[in-house]
A and B are shown apart, each in its own frame.
Chain A
Amino acid sequence: MRSGPYTVVFVSTIAIVCSLLLSTAATLLRDRQDQNEALSKKENILKAFGVTKKMDGAAIDMFFTDHVELFAIDLEGNIDAEVDAAQLDMEAEDKKTEASSRRYPIYRCTIENEVIYCVPIIGRGLWSKLYGYLSLESDLNTVKGITFYKHGETPGLGAEIEKNWFQDNFLGKTINDQTGTFVSIEVVKGRAVDAYAGNEEKLSHAVDGISGATITSRGVTKMLHEDLTKYVPYFKQLEAN
């Protein structure tokens, strides 16, 4: 039997060596990981814009400087030029007690004469938070594209939200009803054509769900509703002008 002090020294050494190893690895890999994160975020914004052309990192940065503006709005729909929108953390903003002090980022992409707006969407799935973007055509009603770039859902089930078949469902759906009132988009259980057979109006705000991933689907419905609501005043202002 080894003595107590030996055990303590041994375990401490192991702990220190392991933590040194890990912090070194984390520090060395940090840059690459951050680059991956940032690039993946931009790629996803582009995908939401409906830009399908394959581009490398430099080309993507070029595209952003040429075509994309990022700015912040408040819940009344006014642009706040004093806030650095790139630094905005949507979740932190949601937690601010005073609703009037919350600011949310929005991207505007101008390609030739077409203007597309893109907003971040964040919500909860079954296991994890879901992060994505949704973009609207210049009518501020029709969905141009949607993507999810970060989540921890089950591969093959909830993780299907990042697949094209799921995201393509959203294309051409509308977030406002015929009177122009915001209704958001619902992810139904099963197929939308079955759930709302014959109801064209409902069908234009509904997409197919993911079988086996009901909670993730519900999470997507909820996040779309909550996050798009924040931008509705801004969209209304744009329409009014």
Chain B
Amino acid sequence: MADATETGEPLFSAKNRKTFKDPFMVNNPITLQVLGICSALAVTAQLKPSLVMGIAVVFVVAGANITISVMRKFIPGRVRIIVEMTVVATLVILVDQVLRAYAFEVSKQLSLFVGLIITNCIVLGRLEAFAMGNKVWPSFLDGLGNGLSYAAVIAIVGFFRELMGSGQVLGFKVVPQALYDNLGYTNNGLMVLAPGAFIILGLLIWVQRTVSGHLED
């Protein structure tokens, strides 16, 4: 693959902006490519873990994209997947260690799933599809865009699951107690279970494809 940008191209050229923006709508990793579903189901029962998970993924995807892009001309083709996995795993363990030192409470909630970022196909997918064939700056933008769009989707899923499943947002009660007492409103238990995430993701994909007019080939 040839380099996507010529030297001397402005940092925020139309092409670079497209690289950053595309993942949000046109080529969203979750709702269009349907990647990274496992973690999107696992951590989204509440909004807060979803947000922290989103930040962790942004860091890992962007960091791995930069690192691999820097080394892309030196990585022997036959072992590139192994090299990519090593870089990703290193970054993920770093995130995990830092969380444990500086955000102890959240890391306790997430510990298992932070480790699972290593197997998130979005990360490896971006390395293979973009960072191996592009310069550092566009690769960084691509990683940032994909990470943030993943974060945005799981934040939306987390928001609705927590709202409908527990009547809370970020741990604060938002559904008034009177609704439970007087109208017999109950939290939707299905929403805290994995199928709840499937349903919300399905609806999101439906909405997004209706808006963007995307059809499977």
Contacts and interface: CB of A to CB of B under 8 A. Distances in A.
B8 interface: no
Contact of A11 (B49, B83, B104, B109): B83
A215 interface: no
A8 to B, nearest CB: 9
Interface in B72-106: 74-79, 82-83, 86-87, 89-90, 93-94, 97-98, 100-102, 104
A155 B43 contact: yes
A32 B102 contact: yes
Contacts of B111: 152
B195 to A, nearest CB: 10
Contact of B104 (A15, A21, A25, A40): A40
Interface string A113-138: 00000000000000110000000000
Contact of A155 (B45, B89, B90, B104): B45
A157 interface: yes
Interface size class of A (residues with CB under 8 A): 20 to 34
Given A22-B93, A29-B98, A155-B109, A14 B83 contact: yes
Contact of B46 (A6, A10, A156): A156
Contacts of B82: 11
Interface in A7-43: 7, 10-11, 14-15, 18, 21-22, 25-26, 29, 32-33, 36, 40
A104 B46 CA distance: 37
B124 interface: no
A2 interface: yes
A21 B94 contact: yes
Given A22-B94, A33-B97, A156 B76 contact: no
B104 A36 contact: yes
Given A6-B76, A10-B76, A29-B97, A156 B192 contact: yes
Contacts of A229: none
A211 B163 CA distance: 17
A11 B109 CA distance: 34
A154 interface: yes
| Interface SS, B side | helix
A113 to B, nearest CB: 34
A150 B108 CA distance: 7
A61 B168 CA distance: 35
A40 B109 CA distance: 14
A223 B166 CA distance: 27
Contacts of A15: 86
Contacts of A25: 93-94, 97-98
Interface in A119-176: 127-128, 150-152, 154-157, 159, 162
A57 interface: no
A90 to B, nearest CB: 20
Contacts of A159: 109
B87 A14 contact: yes
B44 to A, nearest CB: 8
Contact of B189 (A11, A22, A150, A211): A211
15 contacts: A6-B76, A7-B76, A7-B78, A7-B79, A10-B74, A14-B87, A21-B90, A26-B97, A33-B97, A152-B111, A155-B42, A155-B45, A155-B49, A156-B46, A156-B192
Interface of A: 1-2, 6-7, 10-11, 14-15, 18, 21-22, 25-26, 29, 32-33, 36, 40, 127-128, 150-152, 154-157, 159, 162, 211-212
Interface of B: 42-43, 45-46, 49, 74-79, 82-83, 86-87, 89-90, 93-94, 97-98, 100-102, 104, 108-113, 161-162, 165-166, 189, 192-193
Given A151-B108, A154-B45, A156-B192, 5 more contacts: A2-B78, A11-B83, A25-B94, A156-B46, A212-B192
